[in-house]
Amino acid sequence: MDKRKLGKSGLEVSPIALGAWAIGGWMWGGSDRKDSMNAIHACLDLGITSIDTAPVYGFGHSEKIVGEAVRGKRDRYEIFTKAGMRWEGTRGAYYFSLEDRDGNLRDIYKYSGKESIIRECEESLTRLGTDYIDLYQIHWPDPTTPIEEPMEAFRLLLEQGKIRAAGVSNYSVEELERATRVVELASNQVPYSMVRREIEHELVPWCIANQCGILAYSPLQRGLLTGKITPDYPFRPGDSRPETPHFRMNNLIKINQFLDAIKPLAKSRNATLSQLVIRWTLQQPGIDAVLVGARDRRQVKENAGAASLLLSEGELRFIEKELDTLHLDLS
């Protein structure tokens, strides 16, 4: 799997990266530890060298699993993690509450004060068992703190060699413009899928023009575009997906009808629906890498298979035509 340079940073990443949110049990109902370890170990054999995690995924659990799994071969992986979402104290902007692994409800705040970001970096380095982070990102903009403040922390961490590249997540064009006046950003990690394409209007053109990489997360729309989420799908306890707009029954039915229309294309290419969807995402303008979650080795193998699937212009037009008929109610 050929690597891609992320923005102007010089950091090279695999075009398909492992999203470790499910490993941490982040709003997905948990994951088996052994399966999680095997999934990370399988990545290298399949050319996936980049892993994206965050402290809040399982309240540190995901980072610990990633750190344990890469021990002894740290230099073969690129580890992405994040800062700016705290569950200790009440500083910042309240985001929501989530149960921890012991069943206790924890309040989560968006907070990115300079000293807090520096402290979070040290905590992540400890959990990951490493002395540097390849890509360090602000998880969400904090409306209570000037955007320039966490960027100043990033500049210091870059100078200290504790991070190799600075990035953000879920930033708008206006926020990116303010942030890049302080520090060079390698990337912006944003949600993007066949059924969630709002970034194409302003964000993608800005990132292309300013050589800022785009990491697309949730390309399978939290599993919906795999074709496996039917109206009677048995969601696990703690899984928040049924509460989100794309999973409403009317939208679920329409999306499955769209998937039925493109299934023959996947079959003709000897690919799964997931591989077709991931490949489509990778071939969209401005997208440098796609972050895909996986709970076990089998899912990692399926995700990695998308890297060798190249869609023709005719195939891309066919998919676009079918997408044009898909009218979802996401209000």
Q: What is the pLDDT of residues 135-145, one digit of tens each?
A: 999 999 999 99
Structural domain contains residue 302:
yes
**Rounded Cα gap, residues 284 and 280, in angstroms:** 7
158 closest CA partner among 135, 181, 138, 128: 135
Residue 213 falls within a domain, yes or no?
yes
Is residue 321 situated within a structural domain? no
Q: How confident is the model at residue 13 (pLDDT cuts 50, 70, 90)?
A: very high
| Distance separating alpha carbons of residues 168 and 82, to the nearest angstrom | 8
The whole-angstrom separation of Cα 276 and Cα 254 is: 18
Q: Is residue 107 situated within a structural domain? A: yes
Tokens 């575009």 belong to 225
CATH number at residue 155: 3.20.20.100
User: Total domain count for the chain?
Assistant: 1
Active-site annotation, residues: 57
Look at residue 25 and tell me whether its pLDDT is greater than 70: no
* Of the listed ranges 34-38, 191-195, 302-306, the one predicted with least confidence: 34-38
List, in sequence order, every beta strand (DSSP E) within the chain. Answer: 4-5, 12-13, 16-19, 50-52, 78-83, 85-86, 93-99, 105-110, 133-138, 163-169, 187-191, 213-217, 287-293
Give tens-digit pLDDT for 251-285.
999 999 999 999 999 999 999 999 999 999 999 99
* Domain carrying residue 133: 4-223+279-309
